[in-house]
Amino acid sequence: MADTNEQIIETFDEEGNKVSFELLDIVSVDDIEYALLLPADEKDEENSEILVMRLKKDGEEFSFEAIGNDDEFNKVAQYIEEIEDEIDE
């Protein structure tokens, strides 16, 4: 059965190609928001790679930014793992 709460976001990659993502969640770490995205064309969610992007707001507009700093990415990844561990308990 399809998830009726599914949020699909369309954006453009570095080459200008339109890509679609399912917005899984938004988390906040150190007052910065990050979007957890799953490529919308992935059929096997269990084995799909989730993308973590920094969420930027400019008025009513939202954009996604790659996390270029390994320390920042590791901090967000650790936070996400902690949340998953709490859910599994």
For 56, the token pair is 């930027």
Query: What would the pLDDT profile of 54-71 be if each residue is shown by its tens digit?
Result: 998 888 888 889 898 999
What pLDDT was estimated at residue 52?
A: 92
- DSSP letters spanning the chain: ---TT--EEEEE-TTS-EEEEEEEEEEEETTEEEEEEEETT-S-GGGPPPEEEEEEEETTEEEEE----HHHHHHHHHHHHHHHHHHH-
pLDDT one digit per residue (tens) for the chain, 89 residues: 344 467 888 887 778 888 889 999 999 999 999 999 988 876 555 667 888 999 988 888 888 898 989 999 999 999 988 887 777 66
Distance CA 27, CA 48 (A): 19
87 and 57 Cβ atoms separated by less than 8 Å: no
pTM above 0.85, yes or no: no
